[in-house]
Structure formats: C-alpha cells, structure tokens
Amino acid sequence: MKSKLSIALLGLLFIIGCETYSVPDPNNPATRQIARNAVLYEGPELVAVVGFPQAQRSLGDEWLILAVELTSPRGSKAVVINRSAISLRTPDGRRLTLISKNEFRRRYLKLRIPVERALRTLPLLYRYEQGREPCGRWFFETNTGEVAFDELTVSSFQACAGPLLFNVPGGVQPGRWRLVIDLEESRANIPFVLEGED
C-alpha cells in the first residue's frame, strides 16, 4: 500500500513540476515563457525579453505596448538593431510597424500611463543573463531629457530596455502575436499569446 501511495505521490509531483517548468515553444524552440505575461527569446544574435501585461490589459484598444529588453548572447559580437527592422504580426497575419518618434511625442499625454504600467514589469532579463549594465538608449523618449535613437548597438555587456508601441487598427485582439526583429544574419521571431477575456 505504501509503495502505491509513494508512486502516486511521485507521479503527482512530476505532473505539477511539468506544469510549473517553462518549456520551449515547439513551434519556436528559441522562445520560452518565463512569467505569466513574459517570454524569453535566445537566438544566435539576440537575447530578448518581451513583457506583455499591458497588451493583455488592452484588448480592444488601438495601442499595443510591449516592455522589451535586448542584449546579445555571451561571446557573440555586438548587433545593430534599426527601428525599421522591428515589426509586429497580428493573429490575422497583418504586419504592423513601430509608431514614429514624432507620433509618440504627439500622443505622449495619452500613452504615458500605459507605458509606465508596461515598464513596471522590467527588469526580467537579469534573472537569466546577469551582469549586464543598462545601455541607456532606446527608440522612444520616455523621460524628460532622454534622446530617442533610430538604431541601437546591443552588446553582450549591456541590456537595452524600453517600450515598443504599435497602433492596431481595429483594436488589440486575443490570439498569437509575433514580435519580429530583422538582424544582419538572422531574424528574431518572438511569439506571445494574448488570452481572451472569460
């Protein structure tokens, strides 16, 4: 009787362990979920964390805001990321580009609070890639006195972090989204899922 009970308990612990351990997405083995609303991408040129709690709260809204951290893998060369190389694929296959720096400035009063909420989730990357210094550069100015850049050079010694903002005609819908970053020698294809409201 004791051995059957022990086997049953071991089986239960194994099932619980499998449910709490994050496994790679079988459709994209470079990406795994690291929190309820965050994924970690580890590619040949780029390591990225994409946090999407604000996007999850924004179903139906015209703005999708991601909190993102970018670095390069240990031992790899620095990689240049141009803002024009960043796009978002919607669940129905549309390709959306980052809003411009000027549009962000024009809409800053409306977007400031959602951006601040999105950025509360960062930093996440330090749990997996420790010892990275903040790079202090990003594609949008989120604080007074900052400068927005059109491209970032990301090295394995630094992590650049900030929001990525996309205008979504028709509103943010539940489903599988993909953040896509085209790099010199590869493409970072980072899926995340927004769940529908119950």
Q: Tell whether 9 is covered by a domain.
A: no
* 43 confidence band (pLDDT: 50, 70, 90): very high
What is d(CA 40, CA 71) in angstroms, rounded to the nearest whole number?
Answer: 11
| Its pTM surpasses 0.85 | no
Q: Tell whether 110 is covered by a domain.
A: yes
The per-residue pLDDT for range 62-114, each reduced to its tens digit, is 999 999 999 999 888 999 999 999 999 999 999 999 999 999 999 999 999 99
Residue-number span of the structural domain to which 189 is assigned: 25-194
**Which is more confidently placed, 187 or 27?**
187
Q: Tell whether 12 is covered by a domain.
A: no
Share the mean pLDDT of the chain: 84
Q: What was the pLDDT predicted at 196?
A: 87
Q: What was the pLDDT predicted at 21?
A: 33
Beta bridge partners of 25: 28
Q: Tell whether 6 is covered by a domain.
A: no
Q: Tell whether 17 is covered by a domain.
A: no
Containing 13, the helix (H) or strand (E) segment is helix 2-20
Q: Tell whether 55 is covered by a domain.
A: yes
What is d(CA 95, CA 121) in angstroms, rounded to the nearest whole number?
Answer: 26
Q: Tell whether 132 is covered by a domain.
A: yes
Number of domains in the chain: 1
Q: Tell whether 144 is covered by a domain.
A: yes
